[in-house]
Amino acid sequence: MAVLSSAKRVLLPWASNGHALATVSGGLRVALGTDGGGGGGGCSLLQSRWRSSLPQLDPVDRSDDDNSGGGDMDWDNLGFGLTPTDYMYVMRCSKGEGGFSRGELSRYGNIELSPSSGILNYGQGLFEGLKAYARADRAGYMLFRPEENARRMQTGAERMCMPAPSVEQFVHAVKQTVLANRRWVPPQGKGALYIRPLLIGSGAILGLAPAPEYTFMIYASPVGTYFKEGMAAINLLVEEEFHRAMPGGTGGVKTIANYAPVLKAQMDAKSRGFADVLYLDSVHKRYVEEASSCNLFVLKGGTVATPATAGTILPGITRRSIIELARDRGYQVEERLVSIDDLVSADEVFCTGTAVGVTPVSTVTYQGTRYEFRTGEDTLSRKLYNTLTSIQMGVAEDKKGWTVAVD
Ligand code: COI
């Protein structure tokens, strides 16, 4: 576990607003979002209305950092729980500023938000997820397509009326976060450092309107497999009552508000022994969309199908990579409507996502009937998993230019 150093006074970036000093003692109190007022303004105007005026954070004192590799971490038993690490990255953008100014690392810890912040009241926020892997020789780290996460955040920000960091700012911030928390990157083959960028409306607002201030933050945690089943195939339940997304909604962007509404279906399914839920489209209730935390693929003969990203499906970066890798193997890949009939008659079913990687599905239960699929060594999903993770960890040559080194 990260041990925070003894109490320190830290000059926060918004010191000039008179909300300056915070005390670090086990947690960092960050005075966010004290702007009052109505905010507002059209989405397209927002980016140009914010101009950078963010003073620098005092450099973080790292003199008493514990540089041992992840303290007493049990690298062999990493799940997907939060292990607090040493540093987080924070960058802010206020009304009247043209974009995000230079951010800084600070000690990882709690943040303070106005009770009337846009994120707390109206859910104006997005998140991303990506992973850093240790190279075999421990000579640096590898990121997988971080620019894609940056671009997806920009698309989501447009939908949610928020300013977003540039691709360069995003990738720079991710690299800084990895390097500052390098001792928490699991040894190769044991897992990855999961990186969680957040973009939130941190400014105070009462009437329904875009917040007057935004905060971009990144924290990280070492993780292993997402599902408690580990590398084993999972059992899914097709959900018929609750839906994840609707046409015209926000299912196609990674807004924070997409996730709490799926908890009920997910918890009910878990209590019945399923790993996750598969959602159906909300109009016809006949086409499968995705699981709570990942995209879906079905294989029949030499054809792989995955639901098309037409607004209700999250455009996964792993999803897109797997489409390419399956085509490289000679499979026909179709992005289209995938009906319940396609699903239950498939040879193989698997899920993809940053957190879940490529996870095979052994059964799907629909209207009380359990359908079984091929799993094991000789499956397409296993081959795709091997190819993908070899590229991600720097074990196989990256002919596609997907990886970004962090040294
Ligand atoms: C990810 O795969 O990174 C996600 O954001 C899914 C999340 C529910 C863990």
Atom of ligand 1 nearest to the CA of 254: 5
Counting residues of the chain whose pLDDT is more than 90, the rounded percentage is 77
Nearest CA to ligand 1 atom 8: 293
Choose among 76, 87, 103, 113: nearest CA to 2.
87
CATH number for the domain whose boundaries are 234-392:
3.20.10.10
Active site residues: 254
pLDDT, residue 64, reads: 55
Q: What is the mean pLDDT of the chain?
A: 85
The model's confidence at residue 22, banded by pLDDT at 50, 70 and 90, is: very low
Q: From 195, 354, 358, 392, give the residue whose CB has the most ligand 1 atoms within 8 Å, as the site to mutate.
A: 354
The architecture that CATH gives domain 8-58+71-223 is 2-Layer Sandwich (3.30)
The model's confidence at residue 16, banded by pLDDT at 50, 70 and 90, is: very low
Q: From 196, 227, 258, 294, give the residue whose CB has the most ligand 1 atoms within 8 Å, as the site to mutate.
A: 294
CA of 5 to the centre of ligand 1 (A): 30
- pLDDT, one tens digit per residue, over 190-244 is 999 999 999 999 999 999 999 999 999 999 999 999 998 888 999 999 999 999 9
CA of 34 to the centre of ligand 1 (A): 30
Atom of ligand 1 nearest to the CA of 80: 9
- pLDDT, one tens digit per residue, over 359-391 is 999 999 999 999 999 999 999 999 999 999 999
Say which residue the tokens 């927002």 belong to: 46
Q: Is the CB of 353 under 6 A from ligand 1?
A: yes
pLDDT, residue 103, reads: 94
Q: With 80 as the cut, is the pLDDT of residue 34 above it? A: no
pLDDT, residue 69, reads: 66
The model's confidence at residue 23, banded by pLDDT at 50, 70 and 90, is: very low
The model's confidence at residue 6, banded by pLDDT at 50, 70 and 90, is: very low
Distance of CA 246 to the CA centre of its chain: 21
Choose among 79, 129, 75, 133: nearest CA to 388.
133
Can you tell me the distance from the alpha carbon of 404 to that of 407, in angstroms, rounded to the nearest whole number? 10
Q: With 70 as the cut, is the pLDDT of residue 276 above it? A: yes
pLDDT, residue 65, reads: 61
Atom of ligand 1 nearest to the CA of 355: 2
pLDDT, residue 33, reads: 29
pLDDT, residue 313, reads: 96
pLDDT, residue 95, reads: 76
Q: Is the CB of 352 under 6 A from ligand 1?
A: no
- pLDDT, one tens digit per residue, over 314-366 is 999 999 999 999 999 999 999 999 999 999 999 999 999 999 999 999 999 99
According to the 3-state scheme, what is the secondary structure of the chain?
Answer: CCCCCCCEEEECCCHHHCCCEEEECCCECCECCCCCCCCCCCHHHHHHHCCCCCCCCCCCCCCCCCCCCCCCCCHHHCCCCCCCCCEEEEEEEECCCCCCCCCEEEECCCCECCCCEHHHHHCCEEECCEEEEECCCCCCEEEECHHHHHHHHHHHHHHCCCCCCCHHHHHHHHHHHHHHCHHHCCCCCCCEEEEEEEEEECCECCCCCCCCEEEEEEEEEEECCCCCCCCCCEEEEEECCCCCCCCCCCCCCCEHHHCHHHHHHHHHHHHCCCCEEEEECCCCCCEEEEECCCEEEEEECCEEEEECCCCCCCCCHHHHHHHHHHHHCCCEEEEECCEHHHHHCCCEEEEEECCCEEEEEEEEEECCEEEECCCCCCCHHHHHHHHHHHHHCCCCCCCCCCEEEEC
Atom of ligand 1 nearest to the CA of 226: 9
123: left (phi over 0), alpha (psi -120 to 50) or beta: left
Q: Is the CB of 387 under 6 A from ligand 1?
A: no
CA of 142 to the centre of ligand 1 (A): 19
Can you tell me the distance from the alpha carbon of 2 to that of 206, in angstroms, rounded to the nearest whole number? 37
The model's confidence at residue 94, banded by pLDDT at 50, 70 and 90, is: confident
Can you tell me the distance from the alpha carbon of 4 to that of 117, in angstroms, rounded to the nearest whole number? 28
Q: Is the CB of 293 under 6 A from ligand 1?
A: yes
pLDDT, residue 67, reads: 59
**What are the structural domain ranges in the chain?**
8-58+71-223, 234-392
- pLDDT, one tens digit per residue, over 298-307 is 999 999 999 9
Q: Is the CB of 177 under 6 A from ligand 1?
A: no
CA of 20 to the centre of ligand 1 (A): 34
Say which residue the tokens 């609750």 belong to: 242
- pLDDT, one tens digit per residue, over 95-143 is 778 889 889 999 999 999 999 999 999 999 999 999 999 987 768 999 9
The model's confidence at residue 19, banded by pLDDT at 50, 70 and 90, is: very low
The model's confidence at residue 62, banded by pLDDT at 50, 70 and 90, is: low
- pLDDT, one tens digit per residue, over 148-167 is 999 999 999 999 999 999 99
Burial degree of 115 (CB within 10 A; 0-12, 13-18, 19+)? exposed
The model's confidence at residue 63, banded by pLDDT at 50, 70 and 90, is: low
Q: Is the CB of 129 under 6 A from ligand 1?
A: yes
CA of 144 to the centre of ligand 1 (A): 15
pLDDT, residue 139, reads: 80
Nearest CA to ligand 1 atom 5: 129
pLDDT, residue 11, reads: 29
Q: Is the CB of 354 under 6 A from ligand 1?
A: yes
Q: The pTM is what?
A: 0.85
Q: Is the CB of 255 under 6 A from ligand 1?
A: no
Among the listed ranges 64-68, 230-234, 258-262, which one has the minimum average pLDDT value? 64-68
Give the number of other Cβ atoms within 10 Å of residue 310's Cβ: 13
